[in-house]
């Protein structure tokens, strides 16, 4: 039997985008019942929703009253997806109001509930909206952060509805039973490949597209995490619900990752899936290097900072500072106890040499908790939809991940990360 999805549509201009979201759901075999708010029909009419879903569409609790739709729809749903979730709709949901069929359905739903907000920036950032979002998340709902971009008119900023395909990806993970073991956690994921300038038109780079990093971000959102992605030269659609910081070079990535991952209020986990250049030119040519028949000057390289090793060193320094503080009182000293500052650190290593000896040596050198070693070449690695890997743990564990979709590899990585987060909490 196909899963049942309730698609709640709020009264926002972004409602038209949800026609594409509905198409993605129905073409994937899900049975979808669309419940617009009354004012949502001012943007997209009842006939459109009914034709695309193949199901009746109503906004009130009185139509088909003998079937008690305001109770039955929520009870029978496998997922309630609200898009666009307007400020008004989320406020009414947070208050437990049931003035129309959609808000009544939200009260009776015992399945996962996913909100995809869309509104003007000022409305999203208003303390009332932020309080309602926090309340809904505290009750177990997943509320995506809106995308940043063009809004109505000439306005631009956070408040844009995430792309339908990205909302759909989160919905599919929830329908597949994604655990909520990252709820309340903050994670940082690096993605893509850095570029190191040689001159104004050339750079040293690699083949990474950011596909694996974005899969990690997407699955973490579906598991309830607050996700920051530091993306180097990625052209993929942004994962729904993730905050994106864009960088170009390895040094820019280091600064962005360290800022997002800062201990004592930063990230609970950092996953370095980006392909970071090991070297950069010692000097940047201000003018394009010409091919003029003369041999060019040798390109001299210097090492880039090791971001993952730097994170591990910062973690060690913070723990040592806590332990060395006499009569340690976290509130007075401003330092966090060692058990709570133990970020879970994950490195990725795209290798042609995937031997256990090489992997173990790199794991020790980096000082991380997990090292995901994936082979590259022969159709694997950069730019492909699938991947395979072996995850080596600092605790001696070895977890093979067979070839499959990059989202599947991401879920295994988060399984391992979540287990280590829980171990840290248990020792607080």
149 CB-contact burial (10 Å; exposed 0-12 / middle 13-18 / buried 19+) = middle
Neighbours of 357 (CB within 10 A): 8
294 CB-contact burial (10 Å; exposed 0-12 / middle 13-18 / buried 19+) = exposed
| 191, 230 contact by CB (below 8 A) | yes
| 234, 214 contact by CB (below 8 A) | yes
For 33, the enclosing helix (H) or strand (E) is strand 31-36
Write the CB contacts of 5 (distance below 8 Å, at least 6 apart in sequence).
25, 30, 31, 32, 33, 77, 78, 79, 80, 81, 171, 175
Helix pair 307-324, 250-260: axis angle to 10 deg: 30
Query: Which residue in 420, 381, 422 sits closest to 397, CA to CA?
Result: 420
Q: Residue 416: helix, strand or coil by DSSP?
A: helix
| 77, 4 contact by CB (below 8 A) | yes
Give the single-character DSSP code of 279.
E
Residues facing residue 279 across a β-bridge: 303
Of residues 206, 233, 374, 387, which has the active-site annotation?
206
CA distance 103 to 89: 8
Residues facing residue 113 across a β-bridge: 80
Query: Which residue in 133, 96, 98, 138 sits closest to 116, CA to CA?
Result: 133
Query: Which residue in 350, 117, 352, 112 sits closest to 213, CA to CA?
Result: 350
Owner of token pair 């809904």: 136
Q: Residue 388: helix, strand or coil by DSSP?
A: strand
| 365, 309 contact by CB (below 8 A) | yes
46 CB-contact burial (10 Å; exposed 0-12 / middle 13-18 / buried 19+) = middle
Q: Is 206 a known active-site residue?
A: yes
Cα 111–221–34 angle (5° rounding)?
45
Which residues are designated catalytic? 206
């Amino acid at each position: 039997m196909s899963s049942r999805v309730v698609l709640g549509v709020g009264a926002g201009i972004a409602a038209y985008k949800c026609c594409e979201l509905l198409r993605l759901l129905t073409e994937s075999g899900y049975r979808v019942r669309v419940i617009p708010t009354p004012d949502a029909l001012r943007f997209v009419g009842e006939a459109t929703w009914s034709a695309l879903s193949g199901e009746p569409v109503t906004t009130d609790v009185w139509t088909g009253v003998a079937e008690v739709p305001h109770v039955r729809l929520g009870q029978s749903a496998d997922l309630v997806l609200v898009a666009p979730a307007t400020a008004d709709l989320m406020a009414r949901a947070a208050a437990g109001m049931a003035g129309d069929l959609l808000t009544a359905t939200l009260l009776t739903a015992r399945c996962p509930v996913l909100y995809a907000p869309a509104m003007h920036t000022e409305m999203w950032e208003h303390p009332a909206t932020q309080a309602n979002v926090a309340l809904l998340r505290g009750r177990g709902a997943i509320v995506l952060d809106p995308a940043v971009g063009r809004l109505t008119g000439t306005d631009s900023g956070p408040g844009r509805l995430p792309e339908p395909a990205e909302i759909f990806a989160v919905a599919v993970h929830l329908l597949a039973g994604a655990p909520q073991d990252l709820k309340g956690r903050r994670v940082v994921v690096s993605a893509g490949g850095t570029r190191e300038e040689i001159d104004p038109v050339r750079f040293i780079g690699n083949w990474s597209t950011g596909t694996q990093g974005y899969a990690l971000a997407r699955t973490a959102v579906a598991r309830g995490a607050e996700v920051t992605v530091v993306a180097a030269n990625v052209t993929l659609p942004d994962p729904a619900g993730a905050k994106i910081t864009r960088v170009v070079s390895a040094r820019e990535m280091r600064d962005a990752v360290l800022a997002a991952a800062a201990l004592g209020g930063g990230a609970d986990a950092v996953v370095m899936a980006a392909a970071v250049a090991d070297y950069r030119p010692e000097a940047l040519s201000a003018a394009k290097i010409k091919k003029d028949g003369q041999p060019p000057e040798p390109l001299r390289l210097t090492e880039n900072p090791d971001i993952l090793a730097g994170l591990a060193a910062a973690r060690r320094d913070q723990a040592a500072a806590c332990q060395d503080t006499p009569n340690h009182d976290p509130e007075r000293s401003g330092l966090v106890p060692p058990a709570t500052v133990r970020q879970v650190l994950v490195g990725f290593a795209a290798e042609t040499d995937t031997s256990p000896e090489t992997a173990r040596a790199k794991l020790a050198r980096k000082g991380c908790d997990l090292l995901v070693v994936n082979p590259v070449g022969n159709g694997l690695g950069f730019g492909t939809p699938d991947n395979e890997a072996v995850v080596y743990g600092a605790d001696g564990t070895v977890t093979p991940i067979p070839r499959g979709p990059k989202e599947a590899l991401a879920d295994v990585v988060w399984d391992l990360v979540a287990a280590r987060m829980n171990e840290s909490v248990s020792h607080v």
